[in-house]
Amino acid sequence: MIGKRLRELREQNKKSREEIAQELNISLAAYAHYENNFRQPPIENLIKLADYYNVSLDFLVGRSVKKVNDVLDIIDINGIKLKTGDIKKIKEIIDIISKKSQ
């Protein structure tokens, strides 16, 4: 199930296996094995993949047909509604600001 989901997500994002492997800092062989269901990704790589594709771990492993958990769909912070993808971008901005202030 994981392999099928990974392939679908990669193709939806119009990425090659090489691009995904490079962006996630995993070997091309490992990523190909995941997509072909020859190997199961270790939990740290599952987390990387879920974060990269902005999907839940449950979706990746076939426990859910929803890509994101309902709780994470929209978060309201002081009246500002954020979608899951927005939160990822905000975290990236915070990381950049934190590094510049050091």
pTM (2 decimals)?
A: 0.62
Which of these ranges, 5-14, 47-56, 85-94, has the smallest mean pLDDT? 85-94
pLDDT in tens, 59-84: 888 876 666 644 445 555 566 666 66
- How wide is the angle at C-alpha 52 spanned by C-alphas 49 and 54, nearest 5°? 100
